[in-house]
Amino acid sequence: MTTTPTAADPPASARPGAPVPRVRQRAAAIVVRHDGKVLLHRLEHDTFWALPGGAIEPGESACEAIARELHEELDTAVALGALGFVVENFFHHAGQSFHEIGLYLHASPLPGSLLARSDGPYEGVEGMHKLIFAWFSADQLASLDVRPSFLRAALAQDLARGPRSGVAQVRHIVHRDTPQAVAAIVDTQAQRPCAARPPLA
Protein backbone atom coordinates (compact mmCIF):
# COMPACT_ATOMS: atom_id res chain seq x y z
CA MET A 1 0.00 0.00 0.00
CA THR A 2 1.06 3.59 -0.34
CA THR A 3 0.30 6.70 1.62
CA THR A 4 -0.01 9.84 -0.51
CA PRO A 5 0.10 13.31 1.11
CA THR A 6 -2.71 15.63 0.03
CA ALA A 7 -2.09 18.48 -2.39
CA ALA A 8 -2.57 20.93 0.50
CA ASP A 9 0.72 19.75 2.00
CA PRO A 10 3.73 20.64 -0.18
CA PRO A 11 6.92 18.65 0.36
CA ALA A 12 9.04 19.96 3.22
CA SER A 13 11.86 20.84 0.79
CA ALA A 14 9.47 23.15 -1.14
CA ARG A 15 8.76 25.33 1.88
CA PRO A 16 10.67 28.64 2.08
CA GLY A 17 13.95 28.27 3.96
CA ALA A 18 13.63 24.50 4.26
CA PRO A 19 16.91 22.55 3.97
CA VAL A 20 17.38 20.39 0.89
CA PRO A 21 17.22 16.75 2.02
CA ARG A 22 20.05 14.36 1.31
CA VAL A 23 18.76 11.56 -0.94
CA ARG A 24 19.97 8.02 -0.30
CA GLN A 25 18.98 4.42 -0.99
CA ARG A 26 18.82 1.81 1.76
CA ALA A 27 18.21 -1.93 1.78
CA ALA A 28 17.07 -3.69 4.94
CA ALA A 29 16.19 -7.23 6.02
CA ILE A 30 13.02 -8.19 7.88
CA VAL A 31 14.63 -11.21 9.54
CA VAL A 32 12.04 -13.37 11.33
CA ARG A 33 12.97 -16.57 13.13
CA HIS A 34 10.94 -19.71 13.89
CA ASP A 35 9.41 -18.33 17.11
CA GLY A 36 8.01 -15.26 15.36
CA LYS A 37 10.55 -12.72 16.63
CA VAL A 38 12.08 -10.07 14.37
CA LEU A 39 15.70 -8.91 14.39
CA LEU A 40 16.40 -5.22 15.01
CA HIS A 41 19.61 -3.31 15.63
CA ARG A 42 20.82 0.03 16.97
CA LEU A 43 24.03 1.92 17.56
CA GLU A 44 25.13 1.61 21.19
CA HIS A 45 24.57 5.31 21.90
CA ASP A 46 21.19 5.53 20.09
CA THR A 47 17.84 5.02 21.78
CA PHE A 48 15.97 3.87 18.67
CA TRP A 49 15.97 0.55 16.79
CA ALA A 50 15.85 -0.18 13.05
CA LEU A 51 15.89 -3.11 10.65
CA PRO A 52 19.42 -4.32 9.89
CA GLY A 53 20.81 -3.19 6.56
CA GLY A 54 22.42 -0.12 5.10
CA ALA A 55 23.17 2.03 2.10
CA ILE A 56 23.03 0.51 -1.38
CA GLU A 57 26.37 1.13 -3.05
CA PRO A 58 26.59 1.99 -6.78
CA GLY A 59 26.18 -1.17 -8.84
CA GLU A 60 24.72 -3.21 -5.95
CA SER A 61 21.32 -4.85 -5.82
CA ALA A 62 19.30 -4.64 -2.61
CA CYS A 63 20.12 -8.30 -1.87
CA GLU A 64 23.83 -7.68 -2.35
CA ALA A 65 23.74 -4.62 -0.10
CA ILE A 66 22.02 -6.53 2.72
CA ALA A 67 24.45 -9.44 2.41
CA ARG A 68 27.45 -7.07 2.53
CA GLU A 69 26.11 -5.08 5.49
CA LEU A 70 25.35 -8.17 7.59
CA HIS A 71 28.77 -9.61 6.80
CA GLU A 72 30.53 -6.35 7.69
CA GLU A 73 28.51 -5.62 10.81
CA LEU A 74 27.81 -9.06 12.29
CA ASP A 75 29.86 -11.53 10.23
CA THR A 76 26.74 -13.53 9.39
CA ALA A 77 24.31 -14.16 6.54
CA VAL A 78 20.57 -14.69 6.10
CA ALA A 79 18.30 -16.33 3.53
CA LEU A 80 16.66 -13.46 1.66
CA GLY A 81 13.14 -13.72 0.32
CA ALA A 82 10.51 -11.51 -1.30
CA LEU A 83 10.32 -7.74 -1.22
CA GLY A 84 8.03 -6.61 1.59
CA PHE A 85 8.12 -2.81 1.57
CA VAL A 86 9.12 0.04 -0.69
CA VAL A 87 9.53 3.00 1.67
CA GLU A 88 9.91 6.69 0.89
CA ASN A 89 11.16 7.92 4.25
CA PHE A 90 11.54 11.64 5.02
CA PHE A 91 13.29 12.27 8.33
CA HIS A 92 15.84 14.34 10.25
CA HIS A 93 18.91 12.91 12.00
CA ALA A 94 21.99 14.56 13.48
CA GLY A 95 21.01 17.96 12.07
CA GLN A 96 20.52 16.66 8.52
CA SER A 97 17.31 16.17 6.51
CA PHE A 98 17.06 12.91 4.57
CA HIS A 99 14.89 11.56 1.76
CA GLU A 100 15.54 7.83 1.92
CA ILE A 101 14.28 5.26 -0.57
CA GLY A 102 14.15 1.92 1.24
CA LEU A 103 13.76 -1.63 -0.07
CA TYR A 104 12.87 -3.99 2.80
CA LEU A 105 13.15 -7.72 2.04
CA HIS A 106 11.77 -10.64 4.04
CA ALA A 107 14.49 -12.95 5.39
CA SER A 108 15.19 -15.83 7.75
CA PRO A 109 18.30 -17.06 9.60
CA LEU A 110 20.42 -19.59 7.72
CA PRO A 111 20.66 -23.00 9.45
CA GLY A 112 23.82 -23.17 11.52
CA SER A 113 24.43 -19.40 11.39
CA LEU A 114 24.97 -17.19 14.42
CA LEU A 115 21.35 -16.02 14.30
CA ALA A 116 20.08 -19.61 14.27
CA ARG A 117 22.46 -20.92 16.95
CA SER A 118 22.08 -18.23 19.60
CA ASP A 119 19.27 -16.15 21.10
CA GLY A 120 21.45 -13.02 21.32
CA PRO A 121 21.71 -10.17 21.85
CA TYR A 122 24.65 -9.92 19.47
CA GLU A 123 27.40 -7.33 19.33
CA GLY A 124 28.29 -5.94 15.91
CA VAL A 125 30.30 -3.06 14.54
CA GLU A 126 29.73 -0.19 12.12
CA GLY A 127 33.03 1.56 11.44
CA MET A 128 34.30 2.57 14.88
CA HIS A 129 30.89 2.23 16.52
CA LYS A 130 29.38 -0.68 18.43
CA LEU A 131 26.06 -2.12 17.20
CA ILE A 132 23.57 -4.13 19.23
CA PHE A 133 21.34 -6.70 17.49
CA ALA A 134 18.40 -8.29 19.33
CA TRP A 135 15.20 -10.26 18.71
CA PHE A 136 11.79 -8.80 19.57
CA SER A 137 8.29 -10.25 19.72
CA ALA A 138 5.16 -8.49 18.46
CA ASP A 139 4.27 -7.53 22.05
CA GLN A 140 7.73 -6.10 22.73
CA LEU A 141 7.58 -3.88 19.64
CA ALA A 142 4.78 -1.83 21.21
CA SER A 143 7.17 -0.29 23.76
CA LEU A 144 10.13 0.26 21.40
CA ASP A 145 11.20 3.37 19.54
CA VAL A 146 11.48 1.88 16.03
CA ARG A 147 12.48 3.95 12.99
CA PRO A 148 10.77 4.59 10.68
CA SER A 149 7.97 4.57 13.23
CA PHE A 150 5.33 2.96 10.97
CA LEU A 151 7.32 -0.28 11.33
CA ARG A 152 6.30 -0.71 14.97
CA ALA A 153 2.69 -1.45 13.98
CA ALA A 154 3.45 -2.99 10.57
CA LEU A 155 5.94 -5.53 11.94
CA ALA A 156 3.68 -6.39 14.89
CA GLN A 157 0.80 -7.08 12.50
CA ASP A 158 3.00 -9.25 10.27
CA LEU A 159 4.35 -11.24 13.23
CA ALA A 160 0.83 -11.77 14.58
CA ARG A 161 -0.24 -13.24 11.21
CA GLY A 162 2.49 -15.85 11.35
CA PRO A 163 4.42 -17.34 8.39
CA ARG A 164 3.46 -16.02 4.97
CA SER A 165 1.96 -18.25 2.31
CA GLY A 166 1.53 -17.63 -1.39
CA VAL A 167 2.68 -14.42 -3.07
CA ALA A 168 3.67 -11.75 -0.55
CA GLN A 169 2.10 -8.32 -0.91
CA VAL A 170 4.55 -5.47 -1.47
CA ARG A 171 3.53 -2.40 0.52
CA HIS A 172 4.52 1.07 -0.66
CA ILE A 173 4.80 3.52 2.23
CA VAL A 174 5.44 7.27 2.14
CA HIS A 175 6.51 8.15 5.67
CA ARG A 176 7.35 11.55 7.15
CA ASP A 177 8.63 11.96 10.69
CA THR A 178 6.48 15.09 11.16
CA PRO A 179 2.66 15.20 11.26
CA GLN A 180 0.89 15.57 7.90
CA ALA A 181 -2.71 15.89 6.83
CA VAL A 182 -4.99 12.94 6.07
CA ALA A 183 -3.54 10.69 3.37
CA ALA A 184 -5.10 8.24 0.93
CA ILE A 185 -4.02 4.62 1.31
CA VAL A 186 -3.63 2.66 -1.93
CA ASP A 187 -3.11 -1.08 -2.11
CA THR A 188 -0.41 -1.45 -4.78
CA GLN A 189 -1.19 -5.13 -5.31
CA ALA A 190 -4.78 -4.53 -6.35
CA GLN A 191 -4.46 -0.80 -7.22
CA ARG A 192 -7.66 0.05 -5.38
CA PRO A 193 -8.17 3.06 -3.11
CA CYS A 194 -8.83 2.29 0.54
CA ALA A 195 -10.49 4.37 3.21
CA ALA A 196 -8.70 7.63 3.96
CA ARG A 197 -6.94 7.76 7.30
CA PRO A 198 -4.22 9.77 9.01
CA PRO A 199 -0.70 8.91 7.79
CA LEU A 200 1.30 6.32 9.66
CA ALA A 201 3.28 8.15 12.33
pLDDT tens by residue, 156-198 = 999 988 766 555 689 999 999 864 433 333 444 433 333 333 4
Name the E strands within the chain: 2-4, 22-31, 38-43, 53-55, 78-93, 96-109, 122-126, 129-136, 171-176, 184-187, 192-193
Q: What is the mean pLDDT of residues 145-150?
A: 95
pLDDT at 154 over 70: yes
Residue 140 in this model has a pLDDT that exceeds 70: yes
pTM of this structure: 0.80
Complete edge-to-edge strand list for the sheet that includes strand 38-43: 38-43, 129-136, 122-126
Looking at residue 95, what is its pLDDT?
83
pLDDT over 90 (residue 125): yes
Q: Considering only residues 1 and 14, tell me which one the structure prediction assigns the higher pLDDT.
A: 14
pLDDT in tens, 28-78: 999 999 999 999 999 999 999 999 999 999 999 999 999 999 999 999 999
pLDDT band at 115 (very low <50, low <70, confident <90, very high): very high
Q: What is the CA radius of gyration of the chain?
A: 17
pLDDT for residue 67: 97
